[in-house]
Amino acid sequence: MKQLKYHLEAAGVSMLFGLFKTLPIDIASALGGFIARSIGPYLRAHMAATNNLTLMYPKMTFSERHKVLMGMWDNLGRVAAELPHLPGDVLLNRMEILGKENMPKPGDATLFFSGHIGNWELTYPIAPLTGLTATLAYREANNPIVDKMIRDIRSTRAGTLFAKGSNGAIKMIRALKQGDVVALLTDQKMNEGMPIPFFGYDAMTATTIAELALRFDLPIIPIRIVRTGGCHFKGHIYPALQYEKTGDKDTDVRTILTLMNATFESWIREFPEQWFWVHKRWPKEPKKSDVKSA
């Protein structure tokens, strides 16, 4: 039954991807947004998003919250509809890139981090545009057939792809030793990691990127892709995170992760409708952080 479910889901995704690919990018993006806005509010994930938004913005009115959530579904649908167009140049031609001077030189191993904001699928293609080899660490889709479909599309813009996990960590280290850029989306829910302040509440945060940066003395560069309207974007490449090493690993990891979460929070506050609020980023009974959030 599980295999049948996988195949049925994959058939539906394949049909949608095929439809989106045949349509002009603007029409495909708008259609994806319309479908997600129409279906999203009836999904279980919508309640999780509502709870998260209410927790983070307790003074937000119902109409304001509804506007943010509908914007979130619109953005998510557009990302899905734009994905089949990633192998071509149409999406990249619609992105203005700011901060190119912050990119590393070819051969300088670097860690990129971003989150599920705007069209995050345009994060790793930035590297090849500036002459760098990009490696993408990603979370596998629950459906392995759909995962392969998405991986095949992403592979047209990334040098190497690997799923997060122990085997992925080995490949990540190998890529960094070769002088590649490794891109990670680090705003997802984690069952393990460190409790780090995020919107004033402790949220379990993955430690991998901080540990790699400290172990190999690597810069960590934040990258954000903002949707500026319809199917147009701005890619922001920021200066590497600045922090002082104390020599105490736990302290230094916590410092880096706190900076990263503060960066995410500032991005989300600017464009709350462009973040993926359905992540179960906080526990059911979140604990107020003792550390002041950004």
| Pairwise CA distance, residues 66 & 50, whole Å | 9
Q: How much is the pLDDT for 79?
A: 97
Share of the chain above pLDDT 70, in %: 98
Q: Using an 8 Å Cβ cutoff, are 233 and 96 in contact?
A: yes
pLDDT reported for residue 215: 93
pLDDT tens for 38-87 read 999 999 999 999 999 999 999 999 999 999 999 999 999 999 999 999 99
pLDDT at 294 over 50: no
Q: Residue 81: which of 154, 6, 24, 141 has the closest Cα?
A: 24
**20: part of which helix (H) or strand (E)?**
helix 2-22
What pLDDT digit, counting tens, does each position of 265-288 carry? 999 999 999 999 998 888 777 878
Q: Which residue from 228, 273, 239 is spatially nearest to 96, judged by alpha carbons? A: 228
Task: Tell me the chain's radius of gyration from C-alpha atoms.
Answer: 19
Most confident of 31-40, 148-157, 206-215: 31-40
Read off φ and ψ for residue 44, nearest 5 degrees: -60, -35
Looking at the predicted structure, is the pLDDT value of residue 165 above 80? Answer: no
pLDDT at residue 290 in the model: 66
Please give the average per-residue pLDDT across 100-109, as a whole number. 92
Helix (H) or strand (E) holding 183: strand 181-185
> Could you tell me the residue ranges of all domains in the chain?
2-274
Of 136, 83, 141, 92, residue with least CA distance to 112: 136
Give the helix/strand (H/E) hosting 75: helix 62-82
| Assigned token pair, 278 | 């359905």
Q: How far apart are CA 194 and CA 192, in angstroms?
A: 7
How many whole angstroms separate alpha carbon 237 and alpha carbon 222? 6
Mean pLDDT check: name the lowest of 173-177, 241-245, 290-294: 290-294
Tell which residue, 235, 238, 241, 228, has the closest CA to residue 273.
Answer: 228
pLDDT number for residue 291: 58
Which residues are 196's β-sheet partners? Answer: 203
